[in-house]
Amino acid sequence: MDDGKIKDLAERHLVSLDTYDGLVLRRKLKDADDSLYTRLLGVKTVDLKNVTLLSVFLGHLGVDRFYMGDIIFGVIKLLLALSLIITSAIGSVAWIPLAIILPILWISDIFLSRYMTMRRNYRRIRDVLNEYGID
């Protein structure tokens, strides 16, 4: 596959070719034939803009994690948010540690969303390459 198609795939799927994973991906794609290009165009990847918006506005509820396919951590964040609401509503002091933990998780996910999105997209492209026997 030529460099133009490889760069096009990287832009479409929001993967960086400058990282170690990107260099490995570039090497694998150079060895692949052009028929794989159309298959890789159809790979469903996660959009970074959507993840960032979801992280900022609904990340405290775990919606960003659900969108990325990380169901377990999404459920954990949702349960923490619900626990915070319930414990503060009944007047328990248990809301204090939750009020500290939840914003930390929320803010860290905002900053880590780019990395997590790129890793997930790499994984999906790598899975397609593995289907075609390209290791």
Ranges of H-type helices in the chain: 3-12, 20-31, 35-41, 48-58, 63-68, 71-89, 95-131
Residue 41 CA to residue 24 CA, distance in Å, equals 18
The tens digit of pLDDT for each residue in 47-92 reads 889 999 999 999 999 999 999 999 999 999 999 999 999 998 998 8
What pLDDT, on a 0 to 100 scale, did the predictor assign at position 67? 94
Residue 22 is predicted with a pLDDT of 84
pLDDT tens digit string along 93-135?
888 998 999 999 999 999 999 899 988 998 898 898 899 888 7
SS3 call for 25:
helix
Q: Are 4 and 29 in contact (CB under 8 A)?
A: no
pLDDT of residue 64: 94
Determine the pLDDT at residue 84.
92
Of 9-18, 25-34, 78-87, give the range with the top mean pLDDT: 78-87
- Select the more confidently predicted residue: 14 or 127: 127
Reported pTM: 0.81
DSSP per-residue letters across 30-63: HHS-THHHHHHHT-----HHHHHHHHHHHGGGTH
Query: CA-based angle 6:8:9, to the nearest 5?
Result: 65
Q: Which tokens sit at 86?
A: 């319930």
User: How many angstroms separate the CA atoms of 102 and 78, rounded?
Assistant: 10
